[in-house]
Structure 1
Amino acid sequence: MAWTDERIDSLRGMWEKGLTASQIAEELGGVSRNAVIGKAHRLGLQSRPSPVKEKEGKTASAPAVRKPVPPREPRPAAAAPVAAPPPAPRPAPAPAASAPIGAAPAAGDAPVAPREPVLRSVGPGGFLRQGPGDQQPPIPPAPPRRLVPAKPSAEMAGKTSLLDLNERICKWPIGHPGEPDFHFCGVQVNPGFPYCVQHCGQAYQAQLPRRDRRPPPPLPFGGPRVR
């Protein structure tokens, strides 16, 4: 509903009388409480304190009522303490004989508390991890050892071994590698070849002409024929 001049004058009159915004909205009809407050603010009417804040201020400013404390009854005067005689010195206990291992403790002896087990953390490899107090200084490295050349055996005396080979010595093996006297020829090589003249004749054989070649024997059990 539009605000006419009559409704505005009614709003001002009821506002000055101290009616609340809800009461003014009911009297005017067709408007809400918030619409009345907004119109009063636009008209520049004097603002009024919130009733909720006033109630809160009154409640906070109310002095707290203290309950009366009953008077305490006087206590009777305590008698003066009588000085007790000093205790007589006790005789020193005799040294007890060492009990055998596993024997039960005597009746007068205090029970010895069992030691708590020390928990150790086991690593992934199955070893015990050291704590801060279990760390030991590193072990110093061993001094370097002197490499002493091995003495040649009696079977290799005067023979060429693998360590003696070079480009001027025949490298033809003699014997089996598993035998103790396995060695190499050691004679001067044939120029351009790794072996001497004698062993070159064994290692390299001339190929016969095609007309002088013999066919290999046939395979057993009816193998393919050689043409």
Structure 2
Amino acid sequence: MTAGWTDDRVGALKKLWLEGQSASQIAKQLGGGVTRNAVIGKVHRLGLSGRAAPSQPARTATTFRTTRPRPAVTTAQTPQPSAPRRLEAVQPKPVQPAAPAPAPIPDLPGTATVMTLGAHMCKWPIGDPSSREFSFCGRRASEGVYCVEHARVAYQPQVRRGSKESGSDLARSLRRYI
């Protein structure tokens, strides 16, 4: 059952909307079966767009700390300073050799699947798409969507015929038009 929009309800809607109340808050205040969606629809039909301030959901008063609380320290636990300490020379720690870099992944064709195929990988299909072994080349794409090797196969240069046609070609062409 939908609520009727009386002049009083429309007036209250306009007032609450311009005060910055949310559609949910307005629906609760109007009551009588008015839903949040009904309020939003009516606001759009009335052309109400400007608000006094953006609506803010009611928040509970909570405080957030940016630092961790310090434990309470009593004076009985605090050690009293003794005689000044000597600063001893700090021995540098021996430098450990760096771990060997992981071996690069071999650039083998057929290592990419549909799930691992990236934007800059060669998309040359390898194998039968209906088999489990189907994959893509997967090497670094350099020319369009293919690697250099597959681009050579995919993009064949256009073979040009000689500009002079032989006599038989000319006769054949003429017969089409006669």
Note whether the superposition's TM-score is higher than 0.5.
no
Greater relative contact order, per chain length (Cα 8 Å cut-off, separation 6+): 2
TM-score of the superposed pair, with normalisation by structure 2: 0.28
TM-score of the superposed pair, with normalisation by structure 1: 0.23
The structure that has the greater radius of gyration is 1
